[in-house]
Structure formats: C-alpha cells, structure tokens
Amino acid sequence: MGNFSLAFRVRFAASTSVCYFLASHFFCDSLNQGHGLSPASKKSARATKSSVGTTADASIDLSRLLDIVSSFPRQTIAVVGDLVLDEFVSGEISRVSREAPVLILRHRRSEICPGGAANAVNNLAALGATVLPVGVVGYDEGGEKLLAYFRSRGVKTSGIVRSRDWTTATKTRYLAGWTHTTEQQVLRVDREPAGTLLQSVQSAIERKARQAARSADALIISDYGFGAATPSLARKLKAKRTTLDSRYRILEYAEAGITAATPNEPELEAAYHQQIGHDTAGLEQLGARLLNELNLEALLVTRGKDGLAVFERESPGDAVAVAKHVPIYGSDVPVDVTGAGDTVIAVFTLALAAGASYLESAHLANYAGGIVVMKRRTATVTSAELAAALRREATTR
C-alpha cells in the first residue's frame, strides 16, 4: 500500500506539472491570439503586440542612418571572444514518463546557431561586413559544427584555434509543444570547458588577435568568462576602436584601451552591487561612474523594455557624462531575447566603423535589437531589415 501511495503521489505530481505547463502554454497562446478577451481587451492586446516605438529624437537624421547601413559591407570587424554553440532541440509532447515525473518528447528537429562571440560574428556577417573571428574551439562535435557553419557562410576561420584539451561551450535548449502551439523551453543543458587554456593556446590566440585587430576598422571584445577574451589580452591589442561586452568582469577592463562598452542593466547593477529598477537618476549615476572608471568615450546600457541609455562626454576630457535615453523600437513583448546583446554590440560597432556618431550607432543598435527579439532562436538581423525599419520610421515622423 505504501508503494502504491508513493507511486500515486509521483504520478499526480507529474500530471500536475504537465497540466500547469499546458495551462500556462494555452494561456499565453490565448493572449497572443486574443482568445477569451473582451472586444476592448482584444483591441488593447493587438495594439500592444503591434506597437512600434519611435526614436523620439528628431536630431537623428534617418537618411544618414540609411547611408551608414549601406556602407556596412565596406567595413572589416575583428571579434575576439568566447565562441559558443547554441543548440535547440524541439519535441512534441507525447506523454508523462512512467519512470519519473517528466515529459516525454517526440523529437521533431535539432537546430544549431552560433552563440556568444560567435553570434556577434554571425550578425556582422549577416549585415555584409567582413569578419575576422578569433577564439578557440575543441576537437569535438560543437567545434566541428561551429567551423562548418562559418565556412558555409564565407566567414574566415583562420583566427580560430583548435585545442584537444578544450570543450567547445555548448548550450542545448529543449523546447516542448503540441503540433499547432508555440514551443516553450523546458530544459537547458550547458557543456562548458573546465580549467584554463594551455599557455600555447593563449599565445596562439594573442598572435591571431593582434593581427586581426591591426587589420580591422574596429575590434569587439566578447567576454563570456570562458577564457578566450581577457582584460590582459585586451591591453595588448591595438585597434582603431575597441568595444567591449563583458558579462562578469567589466570593471577589470580599466586601462585596457576600450573605446565603448555595451553592458545590460543587470550587468551594470552587478558591477556596483546596486539595484536600479525605475531609478533613472541611479542609472545615470552608475553609468557615468563606469564611463569614468573605464575611461570610455561612450557607454551604451541596454534596458530591455525600457530601451537603452547612451552616455558620452560632450567634449574630450570632460569629467561629466551626458546621458541620453532611447525608447525601445518595436513591441515591448519580445518573442525571444536570446543573443540580443550580441546583435546590439555587432551593429553598434559596425556603425562606429562606418563613421556614425555614438548616438547614431546606439539608435541603429536599438533598431536591430527591436527586430531580432521578435525572432525565435539565436537570430541575426540583415541590412535590408534595418533599412526597412528606418524607412517605416521615417513615415511616422
């Protein structure tokens, strides 16, 4: 009887989990489609879903932004960073397992996308730029897939070092759903390298990074904490301009010659152990502090549905930074934010290389971010999509 009772409780827990999953899934779909809402609520939901933000900055010349986008293919960008493989495994919900309170998924398909620094590389390639990626992958399935992906898209891979003692960072996301419903992520499994890179590998990365930085119009440092991009390496690189995306140790890049950085708000909060929330004054205080401590020319802080903030000095040497706030472009209900930060730094850096000001570059990055979060998976944005967004924006002014 005791065993029966235990089995019943486990099965009940599993059924409850599945019911919760399906109920929340149906509720989200209903909201998306307007089911079960009053006419007024449906109208409000449609307005929210299709709402398109405006830059709200008449000083930005949209025709100039179009010219900048058209010059993207003439730019060369080096990306030094942690290359990641994003894998998405989709399955149709079959039943609840008899072995454990978990869903059994009938496999539909598996997809791969470049992630981390590799996603910044992929976005730059999609925008037509020449990209020089520098990093490390292992002699494993993840490394093979990343290299094959880049080669299929004409991206140079000579700057990517291979190491038998390295595991290619891979993030596998499992997505579940019914035949005609939106999939939801139910599990993520990360495979990460253990330990540090061999000295010989570090030396090879440094040599290739120096060469790429000298050849490029701009350099992106994409530090996800796996070891290919470090503050000490950044200090050894000489580039026309260097932008930084560091997830865990942005303050360590002081005196590294960084031109501009693009942290998100939680990263800024973590750096100084302070909460920002809706405190605009607090955001501006921390942003100005980071700009000064890293000796940056500009700082772009992404804030999700609250848009972004751009900090820059009015003139070189100014101790006081001026902050400008840019509302989001597009819907404030994103489809998938995976990798959006990589898109932002890719477009921001590419625009700088093409001659845009920091504010103009931030606006272009804002458009790109608004486009890419409405796509599923780790996605990219194209020059044609950016140009179309700018033309639509011009008609609303």
Element (H, E) at 248: none
Contact 394, 62 (CB under 8 A): yes
Q: Tell me whether residue 190 is one of the annotated catalytic residues.
A: no
DSSP letter assigned to residue 101 = S
DSSP reduced 3-state for 185: strand
From residue 31, give the alpha-carbon distance in Å to each of 86, 183, 328, 329: 29, 15, 22, 22
> What is the chain's alpha carbon radius of gyration, rounded to the nearest angstrom?
23
Instruction: Name 143's Cβ contacts closer than 8 Å, sequence gap at least 6.
Output: 137, 162, 168
Q: Residue 342: CB partners within 8 Å, gap ≥ 6?
A: 115, 116, 117, 119, 120, 123, 222, 245, 378
CA distance 77 to 223: 16
CA–CA dist 357, 351 (Å, integer): 8
Tally Cβ neighbours within 10 Å of residue 336. 15
Candidates 86, 217, 306, 342; catalytic one? 342
Residues in the chain: 397
Nearest to 358 by CA among 273, 287, 262, 288: 262
State the catalytic residues: 342
